[in-house]
Amino acid sequence: MKTYFWNGWSTRLTSMLFFFFTLSGILSFTSCNDQPASDSEENVWIYVPKAPDYSDPTFWYTREADSTGTGADVFYLVSTWETEWKTADGALCRYADVYNEQHRADMTKEISRIADYMGIGNNFYSPFYRHMAIDTWATRNEDTINYRFQLPMSDVLDAFNRFLQQRDPERPFILAGFSQGGKCVVELLKAMPEELHPYLVAAYVLGYKVTPDDLRATTNIQGAQDSTDIGVTICYNSVSDVRYIQPVVAEPCAICINPVNWRTDATPATLHDTITVTVSPEHHVLVLQGYSGDEYHPIRDFLNVGDFHSCEPWLYQDCLKQNIQTRIREYYRKAKNEVRR
């Protein structure tokens, strides 16, 4: 990444970074306190991996493809790849270890495929972070999930600080994440200073929820209404029927948009000639007909079981690829019009 210094920005950036570092410190501190009773286990030695140093390129997947200066900076957050594991001396670890080459390779499998369509004509940055193992999600206990999530979110805040320090602050940017990464995007939007929002092209929350409380917590989250609005959040979860909504990732959800026809009402859209995609305005999920999802195996008997969680970044990738380019063009068009005024 290249370092840029712009008149009038250093003071604002310092203020933003102080905010992020402060919140990161709060997260680190509270991880030692207020532990939910369900997360307390006797005679269990817990290992917490070392935090990444985001000044080291080892802990980033980057792809800089904006050769014309007409693209955006994409900040992508990966989903869940690891299960709980034990160290050589028997300690239990509930997080990915970014110093473990295999763990980074696992995350790269997803990130590189995302970069193939989100990174076209853009500068793409994705930090390796200590995401929670799937075992935590399998508890389906929101208190346990949120407690353990403090560690990965502290990494995300640190990575975003580095991202802000290294990028041209006048460039537009995109936030995107899948599943656990989608949760990270929601929390990042809630923590992000409002001064950054005018540079946000859009945030893509794939396979995770935006709750009514999230909307009340910040003005940075505004549900997308069509294919061209700017500074908005795109959110969706896919199911075969609303009875298969998995609350831990999809309920309660306050916003949803169809990534095929970019409607928020129940107007159906056809994908790949055979799949009908319809928003349920009541439940804020996508209901799919003509799609089995058989290519994705059930995860711990609670995901990919009537829902299509694993498909979210892939089934609609052509639609997302086109939409990202559309919104970036619209951002620059509006910015040009503002200059003329």
DSSP string, 181-221: HHHHHHHHHHHS-GGGGGGEEEEEEESS---HHHHHH-SS-
Contact by Cβ (8 Å): 176, 206 = yes
Sheet hosting strand 269-271, strand order edge to edge: 238-239, 285-289, 275-280, 269-271
Handedness of CA 264, 268, 269, 274 (dihedral sign): positive
| pTM > 0.85 | yes
pLDDT on residue 21: 38
Rounded to 10 degrees, what is the CA torsion of 198, 202, 207, 210? 40
- Quick one: tokens of 66? 């904006």
CA atoms of 283 and 191, how far apart (whole Å) = 26
- Quick one: tokens of 26? 């709060």
What separation, in Å, do the N-terminal and C-terminal C-alpha atoms of the chain show? 33
* Partners of 124 in the β-ladder: 63, 74
Which amino acid is residue 179, in one-letter code? S
pLDDT on residue 28: 37
**341 residues of the chain, pLDDT tens digit each:** 322 222 222 333 333 443 343 344 434 333 333 455 445 555 789 999 999 999 999 999 999 999 999 999 999 999 999 999 999 999 999 999 999 999 999 999 999 999 999 999 999 999 999 999 999 999 999 999 999 999 999 999 999 999 999 999 999 999 999 999 999 999 999 999 999 999 999 999 999 999 999 999 999 999 999 999 999 999 999 999 999 999 999 999 999 999 999 999 999 999 999 999 999 999 999 999 999 999 999 999 999 999 999 999 999 999 999 999 999 999 999 998 876 65
Buried b (16+ CB within 10 A) or exposed e, 256-283: bbbbbbbbbeeeebebeeebebbbeeeb
Domain locations in the chain as residue ranges: 10-36+46-236+320-340
pLDDT on residue 298: 97
pLDDT on residue 328: 98
Give the residue from 311, 310, 306, 317 showing the smallest Cα distance to 239: 306
pLDDT on residue 27: 40
CA atoms of 303 and 134, how far apart (whole Å) = 11
Question: Which CATH code is given to the segment(s) 10-36+46-236+320-340?
Answer: 3.40.50
CA atoms of 211 and 213, how far apart (whole Å) = 5
User: What radius of gyration, in Å, describes the C-alpha atoms of the chain?
Assistant: 20
CA atoms of 254 and 249, how far apart (whole Å) = 13
- State which H helix or E strand residue 280 sits in: strand 275-280
pLDDT on residue 337: 86
Please name the residues in contact with 33: beta carbons below 8 A apart, sequence gap of 6 or more: none
pLDDT on residue 44: 85
